[in-house]
Amino acid sequence: MEWIVLLIILSFLLRPKDRGKPYNHYFSLLNQQLQKKAGGQPSQLVDLDTVDNNLEAVQQRLHGKTKLRLVVKSMPCLPLINYLMERTGSRRLMVFHRPFLSFLHRYYHDVDFLLGKPLPIAAVARFWHTCDDEQKQRLSHIQWLIDSPERLRQYLRFARQQHIKLNINVEVDIGLHRGGVSSADELSVLLGLIADHPRYLQFSGLMGYEAHIAKLPTLPWRKQQQLFRARDEVARRFTQLVSFIQQQFPDLWHDQLTLNGAGSQTYMFYQHMSLFNDISVGSALLMPKSFERHWLRGHRAAYFIATPVLKKLNRFELPFLEVISKAIGWWNPNWRQALFIYGGYWKAIPEAPGGLSLNRLYGRSSNQEILTSSTRTALTMDDFVFFRPQQSEAVMLEFEDLLIVRRGQIVEKWPVLSRSISEVSHG
């Protein structure tokens, strides 16, 4: 009998706290507007005021000493890219996707494009054969990323066949171990090929990505020290390769080379260094959930998904386990009600109102995702649930448009790049 009493007491002590909260003022206003403007379907929103705040944080840390390159995959929306280019004065883009490159190269006549990954030679050929004559005259605006001698030889053969010259930026491995050259000997092979074929190849710089720094496994009280130690190792490797070029290939070296590196999670580590003259930033301006780092102080979430509640049930029941479901709901106040939403299974987590959770016992769904919550969320049918995406580059392309927020008001609708490309292709 005593053990039963002990079990009851223990269950009460371990009982989860009620995490449910109604909307705060910001999301309450957005919910009201979405009910009028979203057409009763899932939507994505970008708050431009918060983007401005995040951009200011980036510019303050870079001090204007390093050129900013905007990463297209992290914000694939032409009006948003235009807006950020105007705000920053940057005419540099990093592109990862061949259709995006084709579209943007046709649209922008004065932008420097750096490929963020090595493209298969078939993709390069597809790009070239879809260019009009005017675009072909601007081929020098593109820096193709090369990671190996085999790929460079493919590009060289293509350049010979088409009687063109390709700008070559070399990917270097400075610790991420995702490919690229990692030693002076490997770099020497690539530079030798470029130097031997000046009619078809031109060296345009180095690209060293080091996202591994942000995910450094270490003890919490040693995090800061280890981060800077890892940063210094990156700097050492990159500097060695730069010095090698200057000493062994002086004819290829000049001050206009693009020395690109860092990213949204690490750009601030170089604010007092002259290691890179070209730094890429994208996600730090929107701050998806997976990009949160304690050293990104001043950055706030600017990007959300919102979707309406289709059904609100004042109970949560698992099929064939209804009795157990009731017991769980009694014990855990955060499983007291079930909300079925329009759509789901996004790479995102519930953000507002507070206390919502994805229910993996019931199972995920891209049609009618179930969320469980306490009654304190105060949601009703047709209210909108807000999600915070884990990343923007894949999620944003799942929607046709971005709803733009200013001062808490939905003011515009901007198409994402996939829709813009489709309209041009079929226009």
What is the per-residue pLDDT across 181-205, written as a single tens digit (0 to 9) for each? 999 999 999 999 999 999 999 999 9
Query: What's the pLDDT at 5?
Result: 45
Query: What's the pLDDT at 65?
Result: 74
Query: Which pair of structure tokens corresponds to residue 136?
Result: 């072909």
Residues whose CB falls within 8 Å of the CB of residue 144, separated by 6 or more in sequence, listed in order? 115, 118, 119, 124, 155, 166, 167, 168, 169
Distance CA 233, CA 245 (A): 19
Place of tokens 């883009």: 93
Distance CA 340, CA 367 (A): 9
Distance CA 124, CA 107 (A): 18
Arithmetic mean of pLDDT over the chain: 89
The arithmetic mean of pLDDT across residues 372-387, rounded, is 93
Query: What's the pLDDT at 219?
Result: 55
Query: What's the pLDDT at 1?
Result: 54
pLDDT at 427 over 50: no
> CA torsion angle for 334, 340, 345, 350 (degrees, to 10)?
-40
The arithmetic mean of pLDDT across residues 256-272, rounded, is 91
Name the β-bridge partners of 306.
43, 386
> CA torsion angle for 404, 407, 410, 413 (degrees, to 10)?
-20
pLDDT in tens, 341-353: 999 999 999 999 9
Secondary element (H or E) of residue 46: strand 43-47
For the chain, give the longest Cα–Cα distance.
90
pLDDT at 8 over 50: no
Domain boundaries, the chain: 16-45+301-426, 111-281
Residues whose CB falls within 8 Å of the CB of residue 425, separated by 6 or more in sequence, listed in order? none
Residue 376 DSSP label: G
Helix (H, G, I), strand (E, B) or coil at 292: coil
Of residues 213 and 6, more confidently modeled: 213
Strands in 337-408 per DSSP E: 337-341, 348-352, 357-358, 370-373, 384-389, 401-406
Name the β-bridge partners of 279.
68, 261
pLDDT in tens, 295-309: 888 899 999 999 999
Place of tokens 């519930």: 350
Cα 228 to Cα 35, 174, 216, 224, 277, distances in angstroms: 48, 15, 11, 6, 19
Query: What's the pLDDT at 317?
Result: 62
The arithmetic mean of pLDDT across residues 4-24, rounded, is 67
Residues whose CB falls within 8 Å of the CB of residue 27, separated by 6 or more in sequence, listed in order? 352, 353, 386
Place of tokens 């959300």: 304
Distance CA 284, CA 191 (A): 33
CATH superfamily ID and name for 111-281: Alanine racemase (3.20.20.10)
Please name which of 73, 98, 72 lies closest in space to residue 85, comparing C-alpha atoms. 72
Domain 16-45+301-426: give its CATH code. 2.40.37
Helix (H, G, I), strand (E, B) or coil at 148: coil
Of residues 272 and 403, more confidently modeled: 403
Share of the chain above pLDDT 70, in %: 89
